[in-house]
């Protein structure tokens, strides 16, 4: 068997249903599916069982330990040459696996990842969040499949790796947040090849509201410092930009108490975001929501980064994370 899909899930049976339905439509059928329930109180076993006749799908349940360890559990049960790791809130276009196969036929690689997009059925908030996470003006566009600012590190919402490499690296670490970047760093440290597959994209729902989105990106900022403490060489200038933006926003807001024109730079940035998102999404409403989502993305990550820098680099405290009780939310 060529491919094994590994899907950790926590209290999301409806999303699993949509993901499995999209897997039944793949033009390449050489795969199995491992759905691993991570201590859910709302299990998806009935949903998975409903696909038994249409997919080579296997359901497993285990105590809660977070998605990293849950992926490892699924990998241990799998049989594929390549492991394809997905978040449960993804939907695959029918040509996804064919695109992966085409790239591997063109040039073999040990690991790969693909970008994500917003589906037409997503809410306006989800589309705005998707814009904030994929736009050149917020993240450099790497998660939207644009030309990268740094070498490509696949993320766990859409990641593939040779099973032998996964085993050699010991799978995902026990980091609660940032475990996918930790894994990607170890791929490069191990001397393995890793590539971006631009056409192997997924529809990714992300968070469903702005409060949950803030929690997600705040922890991403914290995780970046936790990763820096493990791998000092992993911190690049681009990772500092959200923190610089956050400090800049605070500075301009303070200056506005003396000179109102200080806000012009923030208004210019907001206007650029609004125009670009409105054009891309063909919706002024999404354009306006994208302003809010973009500021949350940059300041949420920036405040998490600064908070972790202060606690870990200045005060010398141990690794930590925020909102751990809401890990999957």
What average pLDDT does this structure show over 135-142?
A: 78
> Which of 157, 179, 205 is where one domain is finished?
205
Is 136 within the bounds of a domain?
A: no
Q: What is the reported pLDDT for 89?
A: 93
CB 38 within 8 A of CB 134: no
Query: Where residue 142 falls among pLDDT bands split at 50, 70, 90?
Result: low
Please give the share of the chain, as a percent, with pLDDT higher than 90.
Answer: 82
Tell me if 131 is assigned to some domain: no
Number of domains in the chain: 2
Q: What is the rounded CA–CA span in Å between residue 12 and residue 42? A: 7
Q: Look over the chain and give the mean of its residue pLDDT values, rounded to a whole number.
A: 92
pLDDT at 321 over 90: no
The 8-class DSSP code of residue 159 comes to E
Cβ atoms of 26 and 54 closer than 8 Å: no
Kindly state whether residues 13 and 70 are assigned to the same domain. Answer: yes
- Please identify, among 205, 221, 248, the residue that sits at the C-terminal boundary of a domain: 205
- Quick check: pTM over 0.85? yes
Answer yes or no: is pLDDT of 146 > 80: no
**Domain check: are 225 and 308 in the same one?**
yes
More confident residue, 32 or 322: 32
Distance of CA 154 to the CA centre of its chain: 9
Supply the DSSP string of 119-146, one letter for each residue.
-TTS-HHHHHHHHHHH-HHHHTTGGGTP
Residue 131 pLDDT exceeds 60 = yes
- Residue 245, Cβ neighbours under 10 Å: how many? 19
- d(CA 183, CA 306) in angstroms, rounded, equals 23
258 and 301 co-located in one domain: yes
pLDDT band at 145 (very low <50, low <70, confident <90, very high): low
The mean pLDDT value for 123-149 works out to 77
Q: Can you state the angle between helices 124-134 and 284-308, rounded to 10 degrees?
A: 50
Residue 293 reports pLDDT greater than 50: yes
Encoding tokens for residue 156? 């766990």
Q: If you compute the radius of gyration of the chain from its CA atoms, what whole number of angstroms results?
A: 20
pLDDT of residue 22 exceeding 80, the answer is yes
Do 60 and 41 reside in the same domain of the chain? yes
pLDDT of 149 over the 50 cut: no
Specify whether 60 is located in the same domain as 159.
yes
Q: With a cut of 50, say whether residue 25 has pLDDT above it.
A: yes
Domain that holds residue 267: 212-326
Q: Are residues 216 and 199 in the same domain?
A: no
DSSP 232-259: GGG--HHHHHHHHHHHHHHHHHHHTTT-
pLDDT exceeds 70 at position 328: no
DSSP assignments along 205-233, one per residue = ---SSHHHHHHHHHHHHHHHHHHHHH-GG
On whether both 59 and 161 belong to a single domain, the answer is yes
* Segment 249-272, tens digit of pLDDT: 999 999 999 998 989 999 999 999
């Amino acid at each position: 068997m060529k491919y094994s899909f590994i899907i950790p899930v926590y209290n999301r049976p409806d999303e699993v249903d949509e993901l499995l339905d999209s897997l039944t439509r793949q033009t390449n059928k050489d795969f199995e599916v491992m759905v691993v329930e991570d201590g859910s109180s709302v299990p998806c076993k009935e949903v998975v069982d409903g696909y038994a006749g249409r997919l080579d799908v296997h359901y497993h349940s285990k105590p809660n330990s977070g998605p990293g360890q849950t992926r490892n559990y699924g990998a241990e049960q799998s049989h594929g040459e390549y492991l394809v790791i997905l978040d449960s809130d993804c939907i695959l276009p029918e040509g996804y696996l064919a695109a992966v196969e085409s790239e591997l036929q063109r040039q073999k690689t040990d690991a790969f990842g693909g970008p994500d997009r917003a589906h037409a059925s997503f809410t306006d908030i989800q589309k705005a969040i998707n814009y904030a996470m994929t736009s050149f003006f917020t993240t450099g566009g790497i998660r939207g499949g644009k030309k990268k600012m740094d070498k490509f590190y696949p993320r766990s919402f859409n990641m593939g790796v040779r099973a032998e490499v996964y085993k050699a690296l010991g799978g995902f670490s026990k980091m609660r947040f940032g475990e996918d970047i930790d894994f990607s760093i170890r791929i490069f440290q191990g001397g393995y090849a890793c590539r971006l597959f631009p056409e192997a994209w997924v529809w990714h729902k992300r968070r469903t509201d702005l409060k949950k989105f803030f929690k997600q990106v705040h922890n991403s900022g914290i995780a970046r410092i936790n990763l820096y403490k493990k791998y000092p060489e992993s911190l690049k200038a681009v990772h500092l930009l959200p923190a610089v933006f956050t400090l800049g926003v605070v500075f301009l807001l303070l200056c506005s108490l003396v000179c109102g024109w200080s806000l012009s730079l923030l208004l210019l940035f907001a206007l650029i975001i609004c125009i670009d998102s409105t054009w891309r999404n063909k919706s002024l409403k999404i354009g306006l929501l994208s302003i809010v989502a973009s500021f949350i993305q940059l300041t949420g990550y920036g405040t998490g980064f600064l908070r972790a820098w202060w606690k870990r680099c200045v005060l010398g405290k141990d690794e930590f994370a925020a909102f751990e009780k809401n890990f999957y939310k």
